[in-house]
Structure 1
Amino acid sequence: MTLAFSPIVALIAVTLSPLVSLIAGILILIVPRLLSFIVAIYLIVIGLLGLLHM
């Protein structure tokens, strides 16, 4: 079973990662209670992407 690698998906992931990190960091500075939610959402998304081989 081979999975096709899409350069467009990789480019989107590379482009969005710093933007998502920046927004999350700003939100954590403004509302520190969001930290656990942001970390949980991040881990869930990364886990799902890993399971889907993206």
Structure 2
Amino acid sequence: MNIHLSLTPLISLMAGILVLVMPKLLNLIVAIYLIAVGLIGLFGLGSLRIS
């Protein structure tokens, strides 16, 4: 059984929930999101395969 897990949508979902819960931290959440997505793109960690 293979599970295909993509990190970018999970990070987006978590960032969106955090913005809704704590809108005062919007700048920090957006900065962390952009850094995480950039690192995922650079190092090719966009999808993990768990067997």
What is the TM-score normalised by the length of structure 2? 0.54
Distance change >3 Å, CA 37–CA 13, structure 1 → 2 = same
State the partner residue of 1:12.
5
C-alpha displacement at 1:20, in angstroms?
Answer: 4.2
- Report the aligned-residue RMSD: 2.6
Letter in 2 for 1:12: L
- SS of 2:44's partner is coil
Gaps of at least 5 residues in structure 1 are: 1-6
Distance change >3 Å, CA 21–CA 47, structure 1 → 2 = closer
C-alpha displacement at 1:25, in angstroms?
Answer: 2.9
- SS of 1:12's partner is strand
Letter in 1 for 2:30: V
What is the TM-score normalised by the length of structure 1? 0.52
Where has structure 1 moved over 4 Å in runs of 4 or more? Answer: none
Structure number with greater Rg is 1
